[in-house]
């Protein structure tokens, strides 16, 4: 599929008119009472699925009385960073928070612009880049509502509405097919990734399970030192010398990292770092990270550092594997409120003190299993990322209409 060849064939000589969004659509002018909404009809940015069309039911209701009403086929846009890439075409009626914009095609243009076509245009990387460029605000930038309405969209064959809708419909059909195929492939790869992670967790739990009388159980407070991290928000530098270990860094196995030139809370080889705070049912709570070198990391707030007091009693790597997502800490997550583990809750965790020989055996097996699982997981995540990028490429290709010279200036 060549860039120009496909588009030329699709248009078959038809012209394209670029119009500011405000000429074909508006923000929803209607309001709805919050008391009329439930989890299935209220939309906040947390309800919108990132990087794709879709929503999940809210686990909360709005705290304001009057909300913007949306109707079927309205396009809902996340309007606060980092949610500007969240886009969904409504299939029912409801209400949305101030962090979500409801874009509605003007009545007189509904016979010229197909709603799903507009949804794909506003899902494109081009629109996202435009929105990011014009976002306003410092601490928590929002989409610029006036600038969004100035965004130019292509209307193929505007003098012939029937032909225009045929062209838009063909684009929508192809993109719907791509969307479905990408979703199926992603689901298969995600299921494989989940299966491998479950397999690893099963064998890890088996190796770290001990019968009564096999080992001595001691509170973590008796066998390890505890250190709290410090806030680094004012000292983040893109090319900083030290990696700031926060929950995102740990939960992504180091793939997402921030750096600082200040080591406010130094870390050393064999330190064990544990996430103390996470959203309800989050995947980061009690996740651990094992420090592999001196003078490389600095510890952020809401992450704690743990180090065995006596290596002849307790191996650091053994403690790392045991504390990682331990049920003794996950039990404090009630599934409703954000969990903030207290120092006392962490230090009361019971640790099995097996013989050093047994700890060494367990660590050796889990190191190999961990390396193997990480390798597979990395490959699967890379494949998922490639599929998403491939989809984005063809989506943007199908929406790349020829622009007049002044539009490209």
CA distance 174 to 156: 16
CATH superfamily of 216-353: DNA methylase specificity domains (3.90.220.20)
Pairing mode, strands 224-228 and 100-105: unpaired
Q: For residue 50, what pLDDT is reported? A: 67
Query: Count of CB atoms within 10 A of residue 298's CB?
Result: 24
Q: For residue 359, what pLDDT is reported? A: 95
Q: For residue 409, what pLDDT is reported? A: 35
Q: For residue 224, what pLDDT is reported? A: 97
Contacts of 386 (CB under 8 A, 6+ apart): none
CA distance 129 to 408: 15
Q: For residue 385, what pLDDT is reported? A: 81
Q: For residue 1, what pLDDT is reported? A: 43
Beta-strand ranges (E) seen in 36-128 are 42-43, 66-70, 75-78, 87-89, 94-96, 100-105
Task: Specify whether the backbone of 157 is left (phi greater than 0), alpha (psi in -120 to 50) or beta.
Answer: left
Per-residue model confidence as pLDDT tens for the chain (409 residues): 445 566 777 777 778 899 999 999 999 999 998 888 887 888 888 777 766 667 777 666 666 677 899 999 999 998 887 777 788 999 999 998 888 999 999 999 988 999 999 999 998 888 988 988 888 876 677 888 999 999 999 998 888 889 889 989 998 998 888 888 888 887 888 888 888 888 888 888 899 998 878 899 999 999 999 999 988 877 888 788 898 998 888 988 887 888 888 888 899 999 999 999 998 888 899 999 999 999 899 999 899 999 999 999 999 999 999 999 999 999 999 888 889 999 999 999 999 999 999 999 999 999 998 888 878 877 877 887 888 788 778 777 777 777 765 444 3
Q: For residue 44, what pLDDT is reported? A: 83
Q: For residue 5, what pLDDT is reported? A: 63
- Are domains 3-184+386-408 and 216-353 of this chain identical in fold? yes
Closest CA to 217 of 351, 310, 75: 351
Query: Count of CB atoms within 10 A of residue 390's CB?
Result: 14
Q: Is the separation of the CB atoms in 48 and 87 below 8 Å?
A: yes
Closest CA to 231 of 286, 185, 300, 132: 300
What residues does each domain of the chain span?
Answer: 3-184+386-408, 216-353
Q: For residue 408, what pLDDT is reported? A: 43
CA distance 223 to 381: 37
Phi then psi for residue 66, to 5 deg, are -110, 125
CATH superfamily of 3-184+386-408: DNA methylase specificity domains (3.90.220.20)
Q: Is the separation of the CB atoms in 201 and 385 below 8 Å?
A: no
Closest CA to 289 of 247, 341, 227: 247
DSSP state of 74: P
CA distance 323 to 345: 13
């Amino acid at each position: 599929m060549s860039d120009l060849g496909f588009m030329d064939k699709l248009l078959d000589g038809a012209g394209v008119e670029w119009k500011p969004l405000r000429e074909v659509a508006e923000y929803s002018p209607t309001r709805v009472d919050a008391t009329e909404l439930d989890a299935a009809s209220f939309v906040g940015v947390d309800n919108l699925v990132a990087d794709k069309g879709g929503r999940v039911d809210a686990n909360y209701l709005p705290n304001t009385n009057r909300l913007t009403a949306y109707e079927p086929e309205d396009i809902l846009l996340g309007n606060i960073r980092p949610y500007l890439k969240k886009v969904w075409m409504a299939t029912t009626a409801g209400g949305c928070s101030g962090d979500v914009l409801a874009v509605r095609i003007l009545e007189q243009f509904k016979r010229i612009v197909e709603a799903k076509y507009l949804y794909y245009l506003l899902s494109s990387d081009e629109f996202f880049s435009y929105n990011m460029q014009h976002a306003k605000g410092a601490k928590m930038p929002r989409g610029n509502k006036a600038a969004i309405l100035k965004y130019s969209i292509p209307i193929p064959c505007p003098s012939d509405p029937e032909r225009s809708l045929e062209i838009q419909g063909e684009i929508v059909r192809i993109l719907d097919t791509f969307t479905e195929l990408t979703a199926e492939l992603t689901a298969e790869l995600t299921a494989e990734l989940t299966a491998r992670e479950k397999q690893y967790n099963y064998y890890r739990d088996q190796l770290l399970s001990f019968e009564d009388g096999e080992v001595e159980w001691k509170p973590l407070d008796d066998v390890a030192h505890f250190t709290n991290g410090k806030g680094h928000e004012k000292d983040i530098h893109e090319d900083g010398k030290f990696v700031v270990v926060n929950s995102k860094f740990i939960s992504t196995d180091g793939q997402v990292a921030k750096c600082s030139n200040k080591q406010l809370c130094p870390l050393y080889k064999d330190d064990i770092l544990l996430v103390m705070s996470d959203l309800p049912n989050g995947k980061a709570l009690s996740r651990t990270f094992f420090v592999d070198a001196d003078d490389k990391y600095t510890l952020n707030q809401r992450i704690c550092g743990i180090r065995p007091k006596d290596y002849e009693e307790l191996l650091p790597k053994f403690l790392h594997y045991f504390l990682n997502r331990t049920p003794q800490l996950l039990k404090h997550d009630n599934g409703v409120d954000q969990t903030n583990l207290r120092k006392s809750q962490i230090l009361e965790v019971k640790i099995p003190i097996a013989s050093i020989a047994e700890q060494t055996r367990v660590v050796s097996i889990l190191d190999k299993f961990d390396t193997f699982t990480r390798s597979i997981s990395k490959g699967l995540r890379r494949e998922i990322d490639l599929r998403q990028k491939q989809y984005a490429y063809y989506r943007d290709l199908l929406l790349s209409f020829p622009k007049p010279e002044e539009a490209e200036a």
